[in-house]
Amino acid sequence: MEEARRRDIFFSFFMFTADLRPNDAGYTQVLVRHLKALTEIGYTGFDVHIAPGPAHVGHHAEVESYISLKRAFDEAGFRGVKFTTNVGTTRSFDPTSPYEEQRKQALSYLKSRVDITSVLGGENTIMSGPFLYPYGVFPLTDDGDGIWSDALQDWMKPRYAAAASIFRELAQYSAEKRVKLAIEPVKNWETPGPTTVSEALDFLESADIPVCGVTIDTAQVVMESQGPAIFRKNVARAAQQSRLNYVHISAPDRGAVSDSWIPWEIMLDEIEPVYSGPYLVEVFNAIPPFESSMRMTRRRFWRPGEDAPEAGVDSAYDIARTALRTLEEKIASHGRRSHR
């Protein structure tokens, strides 16, 4: 187990919230209690979602609010704890927009998210997420019908092309801030694209963006199902180009990681030899907005200090504890196999 513990393993705050509410001092104390419990379990860092702020609040004010939040975390004893962020673009802040002014607004928004990531995580941290095409926004014809399949692929091509110059500037800015960018492909019922690691890598290569990478998420890879052969090629392709910036460990149902349908040997055999960054355990709890956006039917993992304990239902901390133990065991098992 000693070999596994040398690897940084982070935990996603999607278990608890999609909004840190940095201006809410009372909620900050709730976050601090969760940080304390999870560091005691053994996690060395955390991934937090940076929610879009109110329309009337400027990006500078948002950054300032996270400076205050980080100060509160430091004062609570978490100065040495590592943070990464999850960021998504929106209908308003769309770097793929055909309109130049909207693309510029998206760039300003994304730069502010790099700033927030730097505030929380310091140097060499990671900003990951679906921040290329706006999350959850699907195109419609003039008649209000959905655009799908070949027509959708054709529709996306000029959107990717429009985003190229924005991402080149964003990547340069993030490099100066020493923040790694990791575009995360998500499922085809969450976004029109990119939905695969292949698509994300194709965009970065065609747009000639050398200092931007990808996130590989075990749940996304399994559910999008390009298959083990393409998975192996994509891991090698990303690693060779220094684009494998983050790895998320998540069950296909986005619930408990232990005893889930993660193809551990296939994935770790490819990832472990070429990746030295942190692994993120990512569990989406049945809380707003996930319960509706992901149409969750499973019960909520109750959050100590926020929800009433429920007999026969695992707590968020139980799920976090078993996930860490499972991942450590799988990494150690890979190490034993590779040294035979």
Residue 164: the pLDDT is 98
Contact status, residue 115 vs residue 169, Cβ threshold 8 Å: no
Residue 3: the pLDDT is 43
In three-state form (DSSP H/G/I as H, E/B as E, the rest C), the secondary structure along the chain is: CHHHHCCCEEEEHHHCCCCCCCCCHHHHHHHHHHHHHHHHHCCCEEEEECCCCCCCCCHHHHHHHHHHHHHHHHHHHHCCCEEEEECCCCCCCCCCCCCHHHHHHHHHHHHHHHHHHHHHHCCCEEEEECCCCCCCCCCECCCCCECCHHHHHHHHHHHHHHHHHHHHHHHHHHHHHCEEEEECCCCCCCCCCCCCHHHHHHHHHHCCCCCCEEEEEHHHHHHHCCCHHHHHHHHHHHHHCCCEEEEEECCCCCCCCCCCCCCHHHHHHHHCCCCCCCEEECCCCCCCCHHHHCCCCCCCCECCCCCCCCCCCCEHHHHHHHHHHHHHHHHHHHHHHHCC
Residue 340: the pLDDT is 65
Residue 224: the pLDDT is 82
Place of tokens 């690693």: 239
Residue 295: the pLDDT is 87
Residue 19: the pLDDT is 97
CA distance 111 to 108: 5
What is the distance between the terminal CA atoms of the chain, rounded to a whole angstrom?
Answer: 17
This prediction has a pTM of 0.95
pLDDT mean for each 10 residues of the chain (340 residues): 66 98 97 98 98 86 97 97 97 97 97 98 97 96 96 97 98 98 94 96 96 96 89 97 98 93 95 97 95 89 95 95 97 83
